[in-house]
Amino acid sequence: MARYFFHVRQDRTVFEDPRGCEFPDIVAAWHWAMSDVRAIVREGQLQGSIDQQWIDIADETGAIVASLPFVRVLQPH
């Protein structure tokens, strides 16, 4: 299991995840991030424009391994 960190970005403000979560791989971490974005939107926790918000997924070294724009989660599949 690898530890991934989910840093939420709102325009130029970054809310860093200091603890992270363990997942078997980046695919599982990506799916968790998508669920998290859906919860943020559903619970009305968005501040500002949705097209200026995303989650950066970082690995244990701090390297950004994926970025998930909030608008991507809300697009039809």
Q: What is the pLDDT of residues 24-42, one digit of tens each?
A: 999 999 999 999 998 888 8
Asked if residue 77 has pLDDT above 60, the reply is no
β partners of residue 55 = 8, 68
Range of the domain at 19: 2-74
Full-model pTM? 0.86
The number of distinct structural domains making up the chain is 1
In angstroms, how far apart are the furthest CA atoms of the chain? 35
- Please choose, from the candidates 49, 55, 50, the residue with its C-alpha nearest in 3D space to the C-alpha of residue 6: 55
Give the span between the Cα atoms of 70 and 64, in whole angstroms. 16
Helix%, strand%, coil% for the chain, nearest 5 = 30, 35, 30
